[in-house]
Amino acid sequence: MQTNEELITRLKAIVKPYIQDEQAFENVNENTDFIKDLKINSANLVDIALDVEEAYDIEIDNASMERMLTVSAAIDIIRQKLAEK
């Protein structure tokens, strides 16, 4: 099982193409909000969810996708989906 630090590092690589705020990106932590802090537009959140699915070979349902607004929520969802495999 990956540590939160490892998950955050991998998530950063996934969200990098979509961010609008470089400074916030450099300081990403579990409390970072994808939309408010990184200025990612909501349409791109779907792309991020798809990229996460591919990176971790998991399936993210719509309810989880709607919850995936912060780094910590993304980590929780990734952990939950990996545990269900």
| Stated pTM of the model | 0.92
DSSP calls for 27-51 = T--TT-BTTTTT---HHHHHHHHHH
Give the model's pLDDT for residue 37: 97
pLDDT in tens, 25-37: 999 999 999 999 9
Q: What is the dihedral of CA 67, 65, 52, 80, to 10 degrees?
A: 60
Checking if the pLDDT of 1 tops 80, the result is no
pLDDT in tens, 32-80: 999 999 999 989 999 999 999 999 999 999 999 999 999 999 999 999 9
At 5, the pLDDT band (50, 70, 90 cuts) reads very high
CA–CA gap between residue 78 and residue 69 (Å, rounded) = 13
Please say whether the beta carbons of 56 and 78 come within 8 A.
yes
Please say whether the beta carbons of 35 and 68 come within 8 A.
no
